[in-house]
């Protein structure tokens, strides 16, 4: 969650940035699918994969997903939880609405039901008794 404008800077801060200029939506889609073609591979992810002799070998989608999840937990999870746990400041109008509930209607629901039932009966009494 967060602002779309901050997504590219976040992923570049954890070491995943596009090697070529590309559409941010395509970049995020590639990351979500674990496709690391044309995307820089962070050193922590390289260590996980232990790339052998072949330079073309890329990490699997599950390893990419695990890396992104770990990066989120170490960098953003604490900050996001703190934001969610902070109380939301209320203005005076909202506080007044919460603290002093006033009756918007003069009658309770039962009184309204009785009045409407009696009115309906009076209007249809000729139909009922004829």
Indicate the pTM of the whole model.
Answer: 0.54
pLDDT digits (tens, 9 = 90+) for 1-33: 678 788 888 888 888 888 888 888 888 888 888
- Cα–Cα distance for residue pair 23/128, rounded to 1 Å: 73
**Domain extents in the chain:** 4-85, 92-129
**Quick one: pLDDT band at residue 108, thresholds 50, 70, 90?**
confident
pLDDT of residue 53: 41
Q: Which residues of 10-43 are buried (b: 16+ CB within 10 A; e: fewer)?
A: ebeebbbebeeeeeeeebeebbeebebeebebbe
- Cα–Cα distance for residue pair 107/90, rounded to 1 Å: 31
């Amino acid at each position: 969650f967060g602002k779309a404008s901050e997504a590219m800077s976040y992923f570049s801060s954890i070491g995943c940035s596009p090697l070529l200029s590309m559409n941010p939506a395509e970049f995020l889609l590639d990351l979500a699918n674990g496709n690391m073609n044309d995307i820089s591979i962070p050193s922590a992810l390289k260590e996980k994969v232990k790339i052998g002799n072949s330079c073309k070998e890329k990490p699997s989608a599950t390893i990419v997903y695990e890396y992104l999840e770990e990066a989120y937990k170490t960098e953003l999870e604490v900050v996001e939880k703190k934001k969610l746990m902070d109380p939301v400041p209320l203005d005076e109008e909202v506080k007044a609405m919460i603290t002093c509930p006033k009756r918007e209607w003069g009658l309770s629901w039962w009184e309204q039901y009785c009045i409407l039932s009696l009115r309906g009966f009076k209007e249809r009494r000729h139909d009922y008794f004829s």
